[in-house]
Amino acid sequence: MNSVNKKEIEKFSKIAEEWWDPNGKFKPLHNFNPIRIKYIKENILKHFKLKNSMKPLKSINILDIGCGGGLLSEPMKRLGANVTGIDASQKNIEIAKFHSKKNKLKINYFCKSPENLKIKKKFDVVLNMEIVEHVENVNFFINASSKLLKTNGIMFIATLNKTLKSYVFAIIGAEYVMKWLPIGTHDWEKFISPKDLIEISKKNKLILNKLDGMKYNLINDKWSVSSDTSVNYITKFIKI
């Protein structure tokens, strides 16, 4: 078995050149980035009892799965973490390597899926952000990801709920009406409810610690943490 969905990889490889264009096809992720960086940072500091400083994550080893062009890997590195980014698209990894080198950031990038990453060390934190809705088999993917995480480590999973509201907002609204995303970016059948994600994670030694919604405000063009998990949500799991 493997977690790679070739159609999904091809889809994102075709637009890989636009990863770092804040007004390009990844504009929604650029808008989304500040709130998820803040959320990840604050939860890591609290969990590992770290002090907030110029480089607060300097003792933390992070694996960014489905890293794309490095939109999350680079901010994590700037916060001091040791970062490894993996993606099944060679094109994405090339873009990520080029951009990090240009910005003099030492990040380890590999064209791998989690089940194919053969390294001895395990990570303090695993990021699975906006990736589970694009993989071939969620259970297999979470299982492979969990094996790369230390006991008492954190796994963050951000994805889309499988609701009528998510279909209206994330597909009809974002892809067809607002044209924020290329048509076909998301497949509603691949969306997953928090309940199902929690059950799958539990089977793979991951216990839910935190569940929050992520809400977009059209008026001020900003994202915020919310109690509403009906469209976008983010979870924090602890490895037991």
177 lies in some domain: no
User: Has residue 178 got a pLDDT over 80?
Assistant: no
How far apart are the C-alpha atoms of 2 and 189, rounded to whole Å? 19
Report yes or no on 124 lying in a domain: yes
Average pLDDT, rounded, for the chain: 96
In a domain, 142, yes or no: yes
Domain of 210 in residue numbering reads as 6-161+190-239
**pLDDT tens-digit profile of 224-239?**
999 999 999 999 999 9
Query: CB atoms < 10 A from the CB of 18, how many?
Result: 16
User: Is residue 172 assigned to a domain?
Assistant: no
pTM score:
0.95
Within-domain flag for 13: yes
Q: Where are the alpha helices (DSSP H) in the chain?
A: 6-14, 27-48, 73-78, 90-102, 138-146, 164-166, 194-203
The number of domains in the chain is 1
Residue 209: band (very low, low, confident or very high) from pLDDT cuts 50, 70, 90: very high
pLDDT at res. 207:
98
Going edge to edge, which strands form the sheet with 149-160?
108-110, 82-86, 61-65, 123-129, 149-160, 232-239, 206-217, 222-226
CATH number of the domain enclosing 199: 3.40.50.150
The string of pLDDT tens digits covering residues 8-51 is 999 999 999 999 999 998 998 999 999 999 999 999 999 999 99
Categorize the per-residue pLDDT at 219 as very low, low, confident or very high, splitting at 50, 70 and 90.
Answer: confident
